[in-house]
Amino acid sequence: MADLDYEGFWNETLIQLRNDLREEEFSGWFSDMKFLHARFDDQTGEINFVVGIPSAFHRDKVRSHYQNTINSKLKEISGSEISLTFEIIGRKLDKKEEITPQNRKNTESVIEKTTKKKEKKEKHPQMRDDYIFDRFIKGDNNSFAVNAAKAISNNPGKAYNPLLIYGGVGLGKTHLMHAIGNQIYENSDNRVICITSENFLNEYLDGLGQGKMNAFKNKYRHTDVLLIDDIQFFTDKPGVQEELFHTFNALLDAKKQLVFTCDRPISELKKFSERLISRFELGVKADLQPPRYEERCAILRSVAHTRSVKIADDIIDLVSKNISSNVRDLISALNNLIAYIELVGEGKPLTVDIAQRHLKNIFNAPRQSNLSMDNIIRVVAENYGLTPNDLKGKKKSQNIVSARQLAMFIGREMTDYSTTEIGQDFGGKDHTTVMHSINKIKAKLLTDPSLESTIESLKRSIKEFSAKY
């Protein structure tokens, strides 16, 4: 952070001061100032601007009459406490160096014009660079969420804070959250942390176990933007909820941006801290709904265009009418058709009849939203003459352990639940236990050909059971 260029913030401050002061007052005290450089202290988190000024008299006058106003505007624009150091440069600036009023649409355009051009940043290690606003189809089902997300990206910490994006599986919560992070990261020097709740929990537990909680707290309480995906996984985990509460407060007080995603409204989370819920209620809550027919068509055309594949309108219509659950299922179906085109090619052009046959299983499958770990556990338990409580309990007889491992494996295959959430559905077992079970089944599949047919049979039974209930 030591070499970051904050000149744009300084120039925007001067523009705002010029608007507030009489022209002769501004020209007398501010037109001869020059931004020199900024220093960032990684230990204290303090930012210091070094500004050139013509004389000691000039410096003292600005300190006594204007410094509080300057500091206030800098904090409002940058979202950070910034200290000022004046360095006497002993000369007048050329006229061409003076700050002049500009017509501008927003602060960001001014900062972009006044800040030195930088080389393109490396990809953020925690965010998908294809999850951007340009690839997110806006419609009636998500327009409020998209508008809020873009407002935050243009003015982090000052538009809507915190933002909670919620909705079912595959509706674009993670895409929208990453789009916010990518735009802020690309267009500013803000520090951005984007993390899943599972990884946040694991870091918290590592901090506790290794005596490194101070490092954990410093990392998350001194960032500029914090994005956490799927906070419903913090349910029934009071320790990490307590830590999130204090992190939440620290960042909110410092006007840092907070964005979260969840699979349901915050009020519906069970075994969740009431005071943490109250913090979420302070901000904006954006609901993502399944896309309508027109939006589904637009999504399919956009993805096909991105993949440089031509899909006929009647096939787009077929897929859009048969899949209405979520965006993920739509794109999965399209990927199947693209694979057909790439593999078969010109020998057998894709027609509506071929698409219908090729996607028959997808069209006829029960919606994934109907699947639950309880249904999976129940079907697997009944298949092996056991009860759901046997699989959720701590018994370690071979037949129970085998069925339990199989149910965990199928749960990971058929749902988007993380290993942490699957463990919770099995009586609060640790995510490492779930991973061990999954790996055991994968190893058995290599040596027992009959196991694969057993798994497929169980999956069909689970889908049929879920369709009924």
Phi-psi region of 268 (alpha: psi -120 to 50; beta: other; left: phi over 0): alpha
Q: DSSP code of 291? A: P
- Structural domains of the chain sorted by starting position, each given as residue range(s) with its CATH number in brackets: 7-114 (3.30.300.180), 133-288 (3.40.50.300), 293-364 (1.10.8.60), 368-468 (1.10.1750.10)
Smallest Cα–Cα separation from 167: which of 270, 266, 289?
289
* Predicted structure pTM score: 0.54
Distances (CA, A) of 105 to 12, 25, 74, 102, 110: 13, 26, 19, 10, 8
Q: Report the alpha-carbon distance of residue 299 to residue 320 in Å, rounded.
A: 9
Which region among 250-254, 275-279, 449-453 has the lowest average model confidence (pLDDT)?
449-453
**Maximum mean pLDDT: which of 28-37, 215-224, 322-331:** 215-224
CA–CA separation, 430 vs 421, rounded Å?
9
What is the band of 42 on the pLDDT scale with cuts at 50, 70, 90? low
Report yes or no: 160 and 283 within 8 Å, Cβ to Cβ. Answer: yes
Q: Is the confidence at residue 119, as pLDDT, over 60?
A: no
Q: 155 with 107: CB under 8 angstroms? A: yes
For residue 401, pLDDT over 60 is answered with yes
Please say if the pLDDT value at position 117 is more than 70.
no
The answer to whether the beta carbons of residues 327 and 136 sit under 8 Å apart is no
Which of 134, 223, 227, 137 lies closest to 174, judged by CA? 227
Q: For residue 346, what pLDDT band results from cuts at 50, 70 and 90?
A: low
If DSSP codes are grouped into helix, strand and coil, which group holds residue 298?
A: helix
Give yes or no for a contact between 82 and 49, defined as CB atoms under 8 angstroms apart. Answer: yes
How sure is the predictor about 293, in pLDDT bands with cuts at 50, 70 and 90? confident
More confident residue, 428 or 258: 258
| More reliable by pLDDT, 98 or 6 | 6
Q: pLDDT digit string (tens) for 53-84?
A: 888 888 888 888 888 888 888 877 766 778 88
* C-alpha–C-alpha distance, residues 355 and 350, integer Å: 7
Pairing of strands 192-196, 163-167: unpaired
pLDDT at 204: 94
Read off the DSSP letter of residue 255.
T
Angle at 459 between CA 458 and CA 465, to 5 degrees: 90
